[in-house]
Amino acid sequence: MTLPGGMPARDFDFPVRGARFGARGPGTRLTDLGVQLKARAGVLRFAPKSPFEISLDSASLVASCSLGSGIVRVQSFDLKSKRIHLEIEDAVSSTAAPYRTSGRLRLSNTELPPLVALCGESIESGPGGWLASVLTDGQIEGADLKWAAAYDPEAPAGLVDRNPSKGRLI
């Protein structure tokens, strides 16, 4: 099994408990899917270019997808270890054009190397690709970012919503 970002399942070495749910509309048509997962202590491995491990204290995810409207929602995601604490709340994305996304990301007591490893190739291959070579050491004491963006591949400039995202470093 390969997970998003091309991460093989063997890179997840921790016990996970979870529940999934679905809702049906008229007839037998499935309209909604959801998942709740909780992970206990273990190891999360990354190998985008060089092997990297994070000893995990805990992780949790509550997410859902409305098949009719094409909306994916992450109500909460929380990843805790001694080296990284990442929280995502109220993240919403559409699965069809025009694509829209919004949410909130918080970091606290996070070392930069595991954060760069977690972002993987997206940070290395994007416009800010030089960041991976600069972010080799250091720590983020705290950061809070609220984002909102929209993209329409049919629009001339692509970006259709220029609402500014807000963030702060602590």
How far is residue 60's CA from residue 16's CA, in Å, rounded to a whole number?
9
How far is residue 111's CA from residue 82's CA, in Å, rounded to a whole number?
9
Task: Classify 80 as helix, strand or coil.
Answer: strand
Domains in the chain, number: 1
For 124-142, the pLDDT digits (tens) are: 555 555 666 666 778 888 8
What pTM was estimated for this model as a whole? Answer: 0.75
List the domain range (segments joined by +) for residue 52: 2-169
The answer to whether the CB of 68 falls within 8 A of the CB of 50 is: no
The answer to whether the CB of 72 falls within 8 A of the CB of 95 is: yes
Q: What single DSSP character describes residue 154? A: T
- Higher pLDDT, residue 7 or 101: 101
How far is residue 55's CA from residue 145's CA, in Å, rounded to a whole number?
25
